[in-house]
Amino acid sequence: MSTLSEPPRDGTSTAPINGPPVWTNAGNTQVPARVGDFEIVAKLGQGSFGQVFLARQVSLGRSVALKVIERELGGRNEGQLLAGLEHDHIVKVYSAFADDATGLTGLCLQYVPGADLGVLIRHIYEDGRAPDSGKSLLAALDQLRHGDPGFDPAALRNREALAAADFPQAVCRLGGKLAETLAFAHARGVLHCDIKPGNILLTPYGRPMLADFNVAFDRTRHRPEDTRYGGTLAYMAPEYYAAVVGAPGGAADERCDIYSLGVVLYELATGTSPPRHRASSETKETPLPGTAPAPVVAPPREPDALDRVPRELAAVIRRAISPDPAHRYPTATAFAAALAGARQLLVARRSLPAPSPVGRWVTVHPVAALALAGFLPHTVASVVQIGYNAVEIQLNAAQGNVFALLVLAYNLVAYPVCGGTGVWYFWQIKRGLADVPGLSGPALDDLRRQVCRLIGRIAVLGAFGWFPGGIIFPLVIDALAGPLPLATYGHYLVSFALAGVIGVVFSYLGIAYVVFLALLPRLGNPDTHTLSGAWDEVRPLMVPLGTLVTLASGVPLVGAVLLLTLSDTAFTLGFRILVVGLIGAGVAGVGLAERIVRRLRQLAAVWQKDSAKVR
């Protein structure tokens, strides 16, 4: 048996459009002022299976929600299902009742002051508005809610957390709570089968409550042939729709509820409904009974509305509403974890320190910034080395000729190997960033790891390009053009070491700055993100920072000392300028390096702080 409904227009009721009638003249049914132990106060809503009233339970003096129905349908018992689902985010069932005087039966349920999510979504997006924070949702809730919740200090913390979140974070928070609730029900064999905004109540404190298990079924107690399928068309997974209409390929499992909740979150995040993914059964050959044939619909492209949503949340929703159940989250627990990961990534991005003008440029042009950080320090290093060699290394004509040829040969090897490899690395990052909106989870993780490895790889390339020259140059000149004094060997070592340290240290720091500021915050994968895991990725990149600051200041100063020690010439003006320049470079280097390192630690603290919360 099956019941299929269109989504409600007023947020309170649905009308069956397929299957046997589930309520006889429901809209005209007269309910007396008192039903057994309950005094009717007001009507809260009406659905396919009955009417819901705010009532006062006389014997206990409490407000309850009274769900009045005329008869059980198909052997179903919503009360039994709910009685086994004691959860903070599921509307509780207190008892079942049957009033002989009126002939009415139904359920006595927990009364939840507040408003249903469908009403809230329509309100916060009406007149073209777009909510910008959780406060927008709370303001609508305060305006539209019914009932007095009283004062609950513990629940107040939940409201404060929702108010502090921006709107995508609020969507993640509410969605995560609902996904955890579904995981609880699924673990007990219960499928809800009718997740939609009208069946989600939001208390005045911002707690989502899952209601209306009319068409839910317990897979541990119901055989498939005895199961009554039902739900609301706009929120049905394609394979579940096929099961409702009895078409081939129909199936009902946890992923159907995941799909429905994904559609709800799509609407909450965007204010619009996603394109309908139709199953193969939704064609002209299998029309709804009593309705016009449904047209064949081509598979839609990626939903446009999600392009306005932060990538982390959009990726989770897109996966949840995939028309292929194999591509969805396999369990509601995994769905909840992904929403938590998306929320943590959004919080981390908001927690980044305000960027300077340079930081804003880096954020907009990350690949250009990577190239600049990779090559500019080595250009400066070349200037330092040329100045040092011009002052301190004296060669005869033969040695000078060998030196000139050696410079040409060395650069013909170093630049293509080191520089070309660096350019290839940057191009790979650029290509990966262009694909980020459409990357799957594993591909995104691979790109993020590639970005983290880039910092060390460029440093290694710089070291490979500079440091061997300190040995190669004097050895080759000595072998081909006559012996060199020991002091000249020392000068070559100093010149290449100085250049190498300047290039390696500041390219590492510069690239790390670009990575921490502009790349890592946009490459988080909500499906795999954990608070401790993010810090485990960042922490190794922070380990060398202290050593790099020491090198930035110490090496030029050591170079000045060695210059004074190894020099056997008079203290010419050029010599004096070189010594003063090296000392100045040491002072300036430590100041610049410490400034960059301080900024890096501020950026890294975004991940470290969150990691500390779970340890």
Res 585 pLDDT > 80? no
Give whole-number Cα distances, 264 to 112, 183, 186, 190, 283, in Å: 20, 17, 18, 19, 25
Within this chain, do residues 347 and 364 fall inside the same structural domain, yes or no?
A: no
Res 430 pLDDT > 90? yes
The whole-number average pLDDT for the span 427-443 is: 87
Question: Would you state the pLDDT for residue 550?
Answer: 78
Within this chain, do residues 436 and 337 fall inside the same structural domain, yes or no?
A: no
Question: Would you state the pLDDT for residue 299?
Answer: 47
Res 402 pLDDT > 60? yes
Tell which residue, 530, 539, 519, 521, has the closest CA to residue 601: 539
- Count structural domains, the chain: 2
Structure tokens at 345: 């990534």
Res 86 pLDDT > 80? yes
Least confident of 73-77, 143-147, 539-543: 73-77
Within this chain, do residues 330 and 410 fall inside the same structural domain, yes or no?
A: no
Question: Would you state the pLDDT for residue 286?
Answer: 42
Question: Would you state the pLDDT for residue 344?
Answer: 93
Res 379 pLDDT > 70? yes
Give whole-number Cα distances, 372 to 358, 368, 378, 518, 570, in Å: 12, 6, 10, 14, 39
In the structure, what pLDDT confidence band is assigned to residue 135 with cuts at 50, 70 and 90? Answer: very high
Within this chain, do residues 315 and 371 fall inside the same structural domain, yes or no?
A: no
272-320: pLDDT as tens digits: 999 865 544 443 444 444 444 444 444 445 446 898 999 999 999 999 9
Within this chain, do residues 201 and 226 fall inside the same structural domain, yes or no?
A: yes
Tell which residue, 79, 14, 81, has the closest CA to residue 49: 14
Q: Which of 331, 351, 371 finishes a domain?
A: 351
| Domain residue limits at 537 | 357-613
Q: Which residues pair with 42 in a beta bridge?
A: 54
In the structure, what pLDDT confidence band is assigned to residue 364 with cuts at 50, 70 and 90? Answer: very high
**Secondary structure class of 609 (helix, strand, coil):** helix
Within this chain, do residues 437 and 506 fall inside the same structural domain, yes or no?
A: yes
Q: Which residue has the tokens 């709804």?
A: 288
Averaged pLDDT score across all residues of the chain: 81
In the structure, what pLDDT confidence band is assigned to residue 8 with cuts at 50, 70 and 90? Answer: very low
Tell which residue, 18, 609, 603, has the closest CA to residue 288: 18
Give whole-number Cα distances, 115 to 224, 257, 263, 332, in Å: 35, 22, 19, 24
Within this chain, do residues 224 and 239 fall inside the same structural domain, yes or no?
A: yes
333-347: pLDDT as tens digits: 999 999 999 999 999
Q: Which of 351, 371, 392 finishes a domain?
A: 351
51-66: pLDDT as tens digits: 888 899 998 989 888 8
The answer to whether 310 touches 274, Cβ cutoff 8 Å, is no
Res 152 pLDDT > 80? no
In the structure, what pLDDT confidence band is assigned to residue 162 with cuts at 50, 70 and 90? Answer: very high
- Alpha-carbon dihedral angle through residues 538, 544, 546, 550, given to the nearest 10 degrees: -150
Can you give the three-state secondary structure of 567-588, one letter per residue? CCCCCCHHHHHHHHHHHHHHHH
520-545: pLDDT as tens digits: 999 999 999 988 888 899 999 999 98
Question: Would you state the pLDDT for residue 553?
Answer: 66
Least confident of 97-101, 147-151, 424-428, 497-501: 147-151
- Alpha-carbon dihedral angle through residues 77, 82, 84, 86, given to the nearest 10 degrees: -170
Within this chain, do residues 323 and 403 fall inside the same structural domain, yes or no?
A: no
Question: Would you state the pLDDT for residue 52?
Answer: 87
Question: Would you state the pLDDT for residue 296?
Answer: 43
Q: Which of 332, 351, 370 finishes a domain?
A: 351
* CA end-to-end span of the chain: 51
The whole-number average pLDDT for the span 3-9 is: 49
* Residues 552, 556, 562: CA angle, nearest 5 degrees: 145
In whole angstroms, what is the distance from residue 346 CA to residue 524 CA?
A: 9
In whole angstroms, what is the distance from residue 131 CA to residue 227 CA?
A: 40
Question: Would you state the pLDDT for residue 298?
Answer: 43
Res 547 pLDDT > 70? yes
Q: Which residues pair with 108 in a beta bridge?
A: 66, 95
Tell which residue, 111, 92, 90, 207, has the closest CA to residue 152: 207
Within this chain, do residues 428 and 490 fall inside the same structural domain, yes or no?
A: yes
In sequence order, what are the residues at sequence separation of 6 or more whose Cβ sits closer than 8 angstroms to the Cβ of residue 430? 367
Question: Would you state the pLDDT for residue 580?
Answer: 58
Within this chain, do residues 384 and 290 fall inside the same structural domain, yes or no?
A: no
In whole angstroms, what is the distance from residue 233 CA to residue 243 CA?
A: 12
Within this chain, do residues 409 and 558 fall inside the same structural domain, yes or no?
A: yes
Structure tokens at 131: 């909510």
Give whole-number Cα distances, 45 to 261, 281, 441, in Å: 22, 33, 42
In whole angstroms, what is the distance from residue 448 CA to residue 444 CA?
A: 6
CATH number at residue 29: 1.10.510.10
The answer to whether 5 touches 212, Cβ cutoff 8 Å, is no
Least confident of 222-231, 287-296, 446-455, 573-582: 287-296
Structure tokens at 532: 């401790």
In whole angstroms, what is the distance from residue 518 CA to residue 541 CA?
A: 15
Within this chain, do residues 306 and 378 fall inside the same structural domain, yes or no?
A: no
Res 92 pLDDT > 80? yes
The whole-number average pLDDT for the span 198-215 is: 89
Q: Where are the alpha helices (DSSP H) in 321-466?
A: 332-351, 357-364, 366-392, 397-414, 420-434, 441-466
